[in-house]
Amino acid sequence: MNSDYDNCSLVVGRFQPLHKGHMDVISKCAAESEHITIGIGSAQCSHTAENPFTAGERYMMINKSLREAGIDNYSIVPIEDLNRYPIWVAHVVSLVPPFRRVYSNNPLTRRLFEEAGFDVRASPLYNRDIFSGTEIRKRICNDEEWRSLVPKPVAKVIEDIDGVNRIKQISSGSDGFPLRSRIAPRGPEGQGQDHVRSRIVHRRDDRFDHNRHPWRIGRVHGLGGDLFQRCQGEGPRSFA
Mean pLDDT, 10 residues at a time, over the chain (240 residues)? 84 94 96 97 93 97 98 96 89 96 92 96 87 96 97 98 97 52 39 36 46 37 35 53
Within a domain: residue 204? no
**Closest to 116 (Cα-Cα) out of 140, 144, 142, 88:** 88
Question: The CATH number of the domain where 141 resides is what?
Answer: 3.40.50.620
Express each pLDDT in 61-87 by its tens digit: 999 999 999 999 999 999 898 888 899
Query: Which domain range does residue 150 map to?
Result: 3-171
Kindly state the percentage of the chain with pLDDT values over 70. 71
Within a domain: residue 31? yes
Count the domains in the chain.
1
Under 8 Å between Cβ of 156 and 37 = no
Within a domain: residue 212? no
Within a domain: residue 198? no
Within a domain: residue 160? yes
Cβ burial, residue 27 (10 Å; 0-12/13-18/19+): middle
Q: How many residues does the chain have?
A: 240
Within a domain: residue 200? no
Within a domain: residue 41? yes
